[in-house]
């Protein structure tokens, strides 16, 4: 069903071949949007976001296709580089595509986080992520058995990602340019990344991706969150299931 909020808009969706990414891309296409899907395979753009080369390849190939209206960073790294994809790949995607977003009349960027970000975290690892030190983050995780390896550090990567969003959203490069940057944490979802993932704060059964696709699509459309005027910081959102911390979170659950 075509929607006036999405019709004609150009969306970049990472992780579009499966899970939340595939469900979100399908929903946007149903609403009349033009979707550029990005994944390891079965996508318009094939790139491995766990590597610096793959991140640059994604940015370059999107740029070749012209202006965009929104980026939905959903890739979760179930097949390659869980930590590298979830934090460093996501940040590189958003920063690399930000110049293209400035050409849109209603630019949006959305990150899919996780309720696992609420679990206890090693602050040394979080800081290494925020410092952009990929080698140090991996080294800390490998050296501390209590973290539980990459799977155990998944929540730490998502916590760092939440902090990055909060810090970046109100800066001149994002809010100052009128680009709404937000994160959503849809809870436990039955996707290829789910088995063996780190503990979350809920014991509820996982959602099917189709039930969660609107949580990512809503803040990316033209009515999801109004852009700020240049120099006027917009309110940043980390939306969690059952919590209302912003205008977006206060809306009726869909």
Give catalytic residues, as residue numbers.
154
Q: Which own/partner contact pairs does 58-63 have at CB distance under 8 Å and 24+ positions apart?
A: 58/14, 58/93, 58/96, 59/92, 59/93, 59/96, 59/97, 62/12, 62/36, 62/38, 62/97, 62/100, 63/100
Distance between CA atoms of residues 73 and 202, nearest Å: 23
Of 181, 245, 184, 246, which is closest to residue 212 (Cα–Cα)?
A: 184
Distance between CA atoms of residues 232 and 205, nearest Å: 41
CA Rg, the chain, in Å?
17
Distance between CA atoms of residues 58 and 48, nearest Å: 8
Q: Strands, E, within the chain: which ranges?
A: 10-14, 34-39, 45-46, 70-73, 108-112, 180-184, 238-239
- Name the one residue in this structure whose structure tokens are 């998502």: 158
CA angle 10-12-13, nearest 5°?
130
14 SS3 class: strand
- What's the chain's length in residues? 254
């Amino acid at each position: 069903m075509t929607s006036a909020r999405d019709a004609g808009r150009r969306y970049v969706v990472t992780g579009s071949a499966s899970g939340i990414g595939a469900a979100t891309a399908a929903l946007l296409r149903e609403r009349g949007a033009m979707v550029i899907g990005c994944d390891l395979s079965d996508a318009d753009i094939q790139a491995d976001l766990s590597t610096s080369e793959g991140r640059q390849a994604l940015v370059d190939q999107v740029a070749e296709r012209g202006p965009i209206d929104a980026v939905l960073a959903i890739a979760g790294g179930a097949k390659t580089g869980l930590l590298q994809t979830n934090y460093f790949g996501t940040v590189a995607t958003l920063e690399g595509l930000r110049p293209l977003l400035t050409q849109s009349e209603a630019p949006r960027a959305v990150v899919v986080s996780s309720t696992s970000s609420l679990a206890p975290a090693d602050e040394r690892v979080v800081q290494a992520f925020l410092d952009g030190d990929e080698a140090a983050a991996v080294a800390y995780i490998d050296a501390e058995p209590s973290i539980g390896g990459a799977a155990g550090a998944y929540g730490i990567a998502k916590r760092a990602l939440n902090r990055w969003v909060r810090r970046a959203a109100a800066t001149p490069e994002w809010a100052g340019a009128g680009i709404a940057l937000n994160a959503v944490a849809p809870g436990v979802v039955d996707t290829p990344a789910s088995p063996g993932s780190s503990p979350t704060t809920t014991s509820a059964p996982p959602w099917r991706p189709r039930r969660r696709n609107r949580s990512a699509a809503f803040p990316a459309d033209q009515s999801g969150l109004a852009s700020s005027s240049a120099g006027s910081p917009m309110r940043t959102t980390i939306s969690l299931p059952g919590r209302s911390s912003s205008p977006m979170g206060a809306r009726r659950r869909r």
